[in-house]
A and B are shown apart, each in its own frame.
Chain A
């Protein structure tokens, strides 16, 4: 179905009252260049309350039956008609020129994923922190090392989304981390471009969150390990480390660290042969980095946990 819809915003909701604000922030975009649509995936199992946005021709509501976030988002994506997908949660909102910034970026740069700046706020709306993109191209190793990029400030080309099969079901990922997992799987194949403008505001309220933070480490490990099984994972990681100009030494260290981490994980899962396979790749990574052996940064990368920039500050 060809359409002139530039972006489809998918909002899964469990019926939070903040949903109205999320939808209105999209409907009031200053964006005359093309069409866009909003798909509300009501996974609450109840009827949504009456609201003004329901009369908008840009909004479609689909009712899913309490089947979990990944299913709900994939359902929204399946009915979407836009060239790009964006996923906003029912307690977040986007800024009035977000679509316009993305539109301009898409005209200038070729990528499968575009992203922009984001602001964390507390439940009362006070700003906690802001982050802006500082990287582009093959960012695979950053996501594999633990960097995070909120879906709320990201635009994903719909065919790239479909080619990776959409969000993985939460059970496969031991409960969560499906958003970063998606970014990792897309960046395994595709490049990313960023715009240094504020796109989205994200509310941080862990008491009311649907995310299971208790075993986040385990979820992330499971996601990364599934991706390391891909035939081209090592070469893409290595390429990504080479592309990090100015900090290539550090990222080569991280390459070794990623595989070493996976060795430990697989030993604990008693997947002995996979552990040995990862060890072989860690060794390969070590040899591929020989020119950095004398730098401190390389050994920092290879021996210490990564401190993700856009996330840990709000822990």
Chain B
């Protein structure tokens, strides 16, 4: 019997595009290894008629309208593969995605593997490609706002359990939160190949964009309270720009806590911010540091993607 390389988990609210997602996984070319698919039907209704070929690789779990994170955790609890792959019902995989990622798993010990994402619009027309260039410990980059789509990622199953899976209390950025909590102890590896097609845009999305900023901030606060957070961020801040970002993370957190009258946490964050600036010392004179401290983060990955696609903003 082949190794069960990965378990693909597709939570669905019953969109018609589910078939395309399932078929894109079923048609993966991957030699010497196997995979399984869990469709987590959270729609509260029966699924639309199955349009993909019958396969014993596919299993359906019916959850009772529990929302995305619980649905994904449910799929993950049932999974048997070495890696977990979370796909959405309106996205799909590139034909050789699992083959590329499996090759990467044979040369790397990282527990989160990912490849290039092609972002498409609501009508599935290509927009930009996301090439993240994030490898190893990229904690400060994730804390600043970098994000890797789950659709293009494989996460080792036990590492996922160790961090407790998705946080069901977050409304929105649960994928970024998962990446951050993962990076507190673990590392990333990137494949130079296109692996996933991901839809973007708020229309028809299940993401709660209203709750998003508050939820994102609360999740970040919980991570800043972790005992190894400062050390981990410091070792991923490789130049004065990223030390500036790190300082900004603590400064914005200080302000947020002050607004909520959490004075002790405010003071603690302020001291950490000062410590970041202290570590930089000579870097305090660099332009990069002050740019990073003074401006909100704009994703380098997106900027690069937009530039390469020749889109003028």
A interface residue numbers (CB < 8 A to B): 1, 62-65, 67-68, 71-72, 74-75, 78-81, 162, 164-166, 168-169, 171-172, 231, 269-274, 276-277, 280
Contact = CB atoms under 8 A, between A and B. Distances in A.
Given A71-B77, A273-B265, 13 more contacts: A65-B78, A65-B79, A67-B77, A74-B70, A75-B78, A79-B62, A80-B64, A168-B164, A169-B164, A171-B164, A273-B268, A277-B263, A277-B265
A166 B63 CA distance: 14
Contacts of A80: 64
Contacts of B209: none
A273 B167 contact: no
A277 B227 CA distance: 17
Contacts of B265: 273-274, 277
B161 interface: yes
A78 B78 contact: no
A178 to B, nearest CB: 11
Nearest to A169: B164
B74 interface: yes
Contacts of B263: 277
Interface string B71-84: 10110111110000
Given A62-B61, A280-B264, A169 B66 contact: no
A78 B80 contact: no
A144 to B, nearest CB: 20
16 contacts: A64-B77, A65-B77, A65-B79, A65-B80, A68-B161, A79-B74, A80-B64, A162-B66, A165-B169, A166-B168, A168-B164, A169-B161, A171-B162, A231-B260, A270-B227, A273-B267
A71 B165 contact: yes
A136 B71 CA distance: 33
A272 B227 CA distance: 12
Given A79-B63, A168-B164, A72 B77 contact: yes
A67 B161 contact: yes
B163 interface: yes
B192 interface: no
Nearest to B221: A229
B44 to A, nearest CB: 4
A222 B162 CA distance: 17
Contacts, number: 84
A98 B168 CA distance: 31
Contacts of A277: 262-265
Nearest to B81: A65
B73 A1 contact: no
B286 interface: no
Interface string B149-182: 0000000010001111101110000000000000
B264 A276 contact: yes
Nearest to B227: A269
Contacts of A63: 78
Given A62-B61, A171-B164, A75 B264 contact: no
B78 A172 contact: no
Nearest to A172: B164
B268 A74 contact: no
B299 interface: no
A273 B161 CA distance: 30
Contact of B74 (A75, A81, A172, A270): A75
A72 B79 CA distance: 12
Interface string B24-49: 00000000000000000000110000
Nearest to B262: A277
B73 A74 contact: yes
Nearest to A280: B264
Contacts of A67: 76-77, 161
Contacts of B80: 65
B63 A78 contact: yes
Interface string B168-210: 1100000000000000000000000000000000000000000
B65 interface: yes
B266 to A, nearest CB: 9
Given A71-B165, A269-B227, A277-B265, A1 B77 contact: no
Given A62-B78, A166-B168, A171-B162, A78 B267 contact: no
A276 B271 CA distance: 15
Contacts of A269: 227
Contact of A74 (B74, B79, B163): B74
Closest 4 CB pairs of A and B: A169-B164, A277-B264, A273-B268, A1-B44
A269 B65 CA distance: 39
Interface in B236-279: 260, 262-265, 267-268
User: Which one of A67, A72, A78, A273 has the highest number of Cβ atoms from chain B below 10 Å of its Cβ?
Assistant: A78
Given A75-B77, A79-B63, A79-B64, A166 B164 contact: no
Contact of A165 (B65, B168, B227): B168
Nearest to B44: A1
